[in-house]
C-alpha cells in the first residue's frame, strides 16, 4: 500500500509540476516476434515526457516524418510511377521521332516509286507506239508489193462515121460519130486486204483529139479476186477541124485504117489497218489501136497492144 501510495503521489507531483508537458508512449515489438508467432498488442509501453517547447522536437518530427514517408509504400509507388511516366514519355517521343523519320523515308520511297511508275507508263506508251508504227510500216510495205493487176482484153468498134457539120460556134468542120466497147480484167492480188476502186474515165484519141469517152464506175474488189469490166466509149458529133482531112471518107466510112490511142488511169485504195494504213495504187494504161473498116463489129485483141505501169 505504501508503494502504491508513493507512486500515486509521485505521479501526482510530476503531473502537477509539469502541466504543459505531454505524455506519449513508444511501442516496441515483442521479443517473441522472431519466433514466428504473431502478436497483435504485445508491445511494451514506456511513457516519455517531452517538453512542448523543446527545439529538437520539430527537427525530430520532420526527420522522422521524412524517413517514415520515404519508407511508406505509397511514396515508393509515386516515385516509381513518376519514373515510369517519364520513361513512357521518352519512349513515346522516340517512337514519334522514329515514326516521323520512317514517314519521311516512306515519302521519299513513295516519290521514287511514283516517278518510276510514271517512267514505266511513259516507256510503255512510247514502246507501244513504236511497235505499232513498225507493224503498220511492215503492213504498208507488204501491201505496196501486192499491187492490183489490170489486163486489157479487147476492143470492138460498133460504128464509125465521118460527116460534115459545125461546132457550137457555127464553124463548119468534119465531125465523127463512133461507138465502141472495151473489155478489161481487174484483179486484186492482196492476200489480206480488199481494194476500193475509184471511178475511172477512159478516152479514145485520134491525133490528140478525143473521139470517144467512157467511165468505169467505182467498185470494191475483195482480196484474191478479180472481175471483168466492159466499158462503152461513145462520141457524138465530135469536131475534128484540121485533123479530119487525114481521115478521108468513102460513103461516110474511113478510106484508110485510123490509128487511135486509148489512155486511162485506174486509181484504187486499200484499207489494211482500218483508216491508219491506206496504200494507194495507180495503174496507168496506154493502148495503141488501129481501126480498120473491114473489121467492124469484130473483137480486136489488146493483149499485146497495151502498156501498163
C-alpha torsion sign, points 55, 60, 65, 66: positive
CA–CA distance, 41 with 28 (Å, rounded to integer):
10
Task: Give the C-alpha distances (Å, rounded to integers) separating 231 from 53, 54, 138.
Answer: 149, 148, 36
Q: Residue for cell digits 501526482?
A: 12
Amino acid 269: pLDDT:
93
Q: Residue for cell digits 466509149?
A: 233
Amino acid 111: pLDDT:
52
Amino acid 246: pLDDT:
66
Per-residue pLDDT at 11 exceeds 70: no
Rg (CA), the chain: 65
List all residues 6 or more positions away from 206 whose beta carbon is below 8 Å from its beta carbon: 176, 240, 243, 258, 259, 260, 261
pLDDT, tens only, 240-279: 887 766 676 666 777 788 899 999 999 999 988 777 788 8
What would the DSSP string read from start to end of 29-57?
--GGGGGT---SS--EEEEEEE-TT-HHH
DSSP E strand boundaries for 145-303: 149-166, 172-188, 195-197, 200-206, 209-216, 219-221, 225-239, 258-270, 280-291, 299-301
CA–CA distance, 212 with 103 (Å, rounded to integer):
88
pLDDT, tens only, 162-216: 888 887 788 888 889 999 999 999 999 988 889 999 999 999 999 888 999 999 9
Tally of CB atoms within 10 A around 133? 11
Task: Give the C-alpha distances (Å, rounded to integers) separating 47 from 21, 22, 25, 123, 235.
Answer: 12, 10, 5, 101, 160
Q: Report which DSSP code applies to 135.
A: H
Amino acid 49: pLDDT:
45
Q: Residue for cell digits 510530476?
A: 14
Per-residue pLDDT at 288 exceeds 50: yes
Cell numbers for 180: 465502141
CA–CA distance, 246 with 164 (Å, rounded to integer):
14
Through-space distance between the first and last CA atoms of the chain, rounded to whole angstroms: 165
Task: Give the C-alpha distances (Å, rounded to integers) separating 191 from 133, 140, 150, 194, 196.
Answer: 21, 13, 17, 8, 15
Provide the b/e sequence for 145-180 (b: ≥16 CB within 10 Å).
Answer: ebbbebbbbbbbbeebebeeeeeeeeeeebbbbbbb
List all residues 6 or more positions away from 282 whose beta carbon is below 8 Å from its beta carbon: 265, 266, 267, 268
User: Of 2 and 27, which is predicted with more confidence?
Assistant: 27
pLDDT, tens only, 110-144: 555 555 777 888 888 888 888 888 888 887 888 88
Task: Give the C-alpha distances (Å, rounded to integers) separating 267 from 10, 182, 214.
Answer: 152, 18, 16
Per-residue pLDDT at 75 exceeds 60: no
Q: Among 299, 301, 204, which Cα is nearest to 258's?
A: 204
Amino acid at each position: 500500500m505504501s508503494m502504491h501510495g508513493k507512486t500515486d503521489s509521485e505521479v501526482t507531483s510530476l503531473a502537477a509540476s509539469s502541466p504543459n508537458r505531454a505524455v506519449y508512449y513508444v511501442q516496441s515489438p515483442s521479443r517473441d516476434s522472431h519466433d514466428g508467432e504473431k502478436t497483435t498488442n504485445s508491445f511494451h509501453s514506456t511513457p516519455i515526457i517531452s517538453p512542448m517547447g523543446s527545439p529538437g522536437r520539430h527537427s525530430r518530427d520532420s526527420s522522422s516524418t521524412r524517413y517514415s514517408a520515404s519508407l511508406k509504400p505509397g511514396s515508393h509507388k509515386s516515385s516509381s510511377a513518376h519514373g515510369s511516366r517519364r520513361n513512357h514519355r521518352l519512349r513515346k517521343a522516340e517512337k514519334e521521332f522514329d515514326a516521323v523519320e520512317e514517314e519521311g523515308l516512306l515519302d521519299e520511297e513513295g516519290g521514287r516509286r511514283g516517278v518510276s511508275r510514271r517512267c514505266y507508263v511513259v516507256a510503255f506508251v512510247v514502246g507501244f507506239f513504236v511497235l505499232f508504227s513498225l507493224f503498220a510500216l511492215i503492213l504498208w510495205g507488204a501491201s505496196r508489193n501486192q499491187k492490183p493487176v489490170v489486163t486489157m482484153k479487147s476492143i470492138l468498134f460498133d460504128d464509125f462515121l465521118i460527116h460534115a457539120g459545125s461546132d457550137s460556134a457555127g464553124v463548119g468542120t468534119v465531125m465523127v460519130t463512133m461507138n465502141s466497147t472495151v473489155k478489161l480484167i481487174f484483179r486484186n492480188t492482196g492476200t489480206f486486204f480488199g481494194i476500193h476502186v475509184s471511178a475511172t474515165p477512159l478516152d479514145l484519141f485520134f491525133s490528140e483529139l478525143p473521139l470517144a469517152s467512157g467511165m468505169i464506175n467505182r467498185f470494191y474488189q475483195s482480196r484474191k479476186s478479180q472481175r471483168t469490166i466492159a466499158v462503152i466509149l461513145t462520141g457524138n458529133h465530135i469536131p475534128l477541124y484540121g485533123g479530119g482531112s487525114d481521115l478521108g471518107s468513102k460513103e461516110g466510112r474511113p478510106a484508110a485504117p485510123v490509128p487511135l490511142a486509148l489512155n486511162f488511169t485506174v486509181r484504187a485504195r486499200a484499207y489494211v489497218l482500218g483508216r491508219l494504213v491506206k496504200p494507194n495504187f495507180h495503174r496507168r494504161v496506154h493502148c495503141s489501136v488501129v481501126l480498120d473498116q473491114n473489121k467492124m463489129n469484130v473483137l480486136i485483141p489488146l493483149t499485146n497492144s497495151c502498156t501498163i505501169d
